Structure 1
Amino acid sequence: MPEISVFLVDDHALVRQGLRAFLQTQQDITVIGEADNGKQAVDEMRARVTANAIPDVVLMDLAMPELDGVSAIGILHREHPALKIIALSSFSETARVHAALQAGAAGYLLKNSDPGEVSVAIRSAQRDQVYLDPGVARVLARSMRAGQAAALSAREREVLVLVARGNSNQEIADSLYISERTARTHVSHIISKLGLSSRIQAALWAIREGIASVS
């Protein structure tokens, strides 16, 4: 199996030492260098271009002096599009995760992740796959669901509650004093906004998200 070359970027020497020690136990992964801030990482990658020694994967801390991780990821992604960068952070806030991924990160790991997840993330990045820490994935999923619910108008939420109760389009129309055609249109828009394929899925979604309750 071809070796995967890895470069470590973190402003804490103990974190870098711990990562290096673990990765040295992986037969297919080799650590070829490290930096203690984003600026140093950017400068190092530029120097490595001349020597044709760009690593396959970079593990990038997000909170660092001189140049933060998100900014460094953005620069590296623009200058070295083939470089795979995995964000490392102690935080799983949605905004931070989105910022790293939008900057070009190929994955997001929490620093309290199991060591095995680090090697899985590195191998996934090498295969052009995005790897998210399970906790981060849950945060993003909740954020997406909240965004979907927010996209519904007040009337659409009313209709969704009635859909979840098993009401037909005509029954929804009678309850809300609208035409059956309008009720049908609302249901169609709800299904589309939620990214679903049927009114049954919409009903189950509403119950799961607490928008409607099972009577």
Structure 2
Amino acid sequence: MKPDNEPVRVVLADDHDMVRSGIKALLGMVGGVDVVAEARNGEELVALVDAAPPDVVMTDISMPVMDGIAAISVIHERHPEVRLLVLSMYDTVDFVKRAVASGACGYLMKDAPPFELEQSIRSVMATGSYFSPAIAHRLLQPAEPTANDELTERQVEILKLIAQGKASKEIAFDLGLSPKTVDVHRARIMERLRLNDIASLTRYAVRKGLVKP
């Protein structure tokens, strides 16, 4: 147990300096909470935690070099005592479940009211978990179908490459197919998912965890 007179040490991770500064300023107004370090990506975050494990890590998901979920997985394996909180703009069940499976014990949204920052830290320190009401509500909803439920294995493979920005010729070369065959698959994917453009396909792939945000 942490002594009552010792502050809760927090490490923040977000690749946007302004966002990180805003969160730090809000936490600075919370008594008994001390932001001891900041990271711009998952790799920096892991290094900071390895050097001096904090009580709580509050991290974004979408970051360069190493994303938040990958960093959570590494930190949870090396430092299981550290509470790992996700602060993200992504509210889909897929993202929440991936974060929890990697070791996160809490999840809240970036558009949450400021008081939730304090509430989330207090809660994970006292009970070991915190999920904002909006996230908890989503987790109680029936599970969404996965990409593998909606598409064939080949279609999922092609969708991943489309979401990575590859053209039909590049995908055809990578998979040993003809560009025409790739175009047919893309049309069938759009038909199955009822999506009409590449941007929508990319958002779907990100939401389902097929590609990194």
Query: Which band: TM-score by shorter chain?
Result: 0.5 to 0.7
What is the aligned-residue RMSD (CA, Å)?
Answer: 1.4
State the partner residue of 2:9: 5
Q: Matched residues in 1 for 2:141 and 2:36: separation?
A: 37
Residues 130-149 of structure 1: pairs in structure 2 closer than 5 A: 130-143=129-142
Q: Matched residues in 2 for 1:85 and 1:128: separation?
A: 13
Residues 1-215 of structure 1: pairs in structure 2 closer than 5 A: 1-2=4-5, 3-48=7-52, 54-143=53-142
Partner SS state of residue 43, structure 2:
helix
Equivalent residue pairs, number: 141
Structure whose alpha-carbon radius of gyration is higher: 1
Q: Matched residues in 1 for 2:109 and 2:115: separation?
A: 12
Q: Matched residues in 2 for 1:42 and 1:128: separation?
A: 24
Q: Matched residues in 1 for 2:128 and 2:119: separation?
A: 11
Q: Matched residues in 2 for 1:47 and 1:30: separation?
A: 17
| 1:45 to partner: Cα distance | 1.5
Structure 1 stretches lacking a partner, 5+ long: 49-53, 148-215
Q: Matched residues in 1 for 2:51 and 2:141: separation?
A: 41
| 1:129 to partner: Cα distance | 2.6
Q: Percent identical across equivalent pairs?
A: 35
State the partner residue of 2:156: none
Supply the AA of the counterpart residue of 1:7: V
| 1:143 to partner: Cα distance | 2.8
The alignment's TM-score, normalised by the length of structure 1, stands at 0.63
Supply the AA of the counterpart residue of 1:56: D
Give CA deviations for 1:68-96 in whole Å, capped at 9, x if unaligned: 10110000000000000101110111110
The alignment's TM-score, normalised by the length of structure 2, stands at 0.64
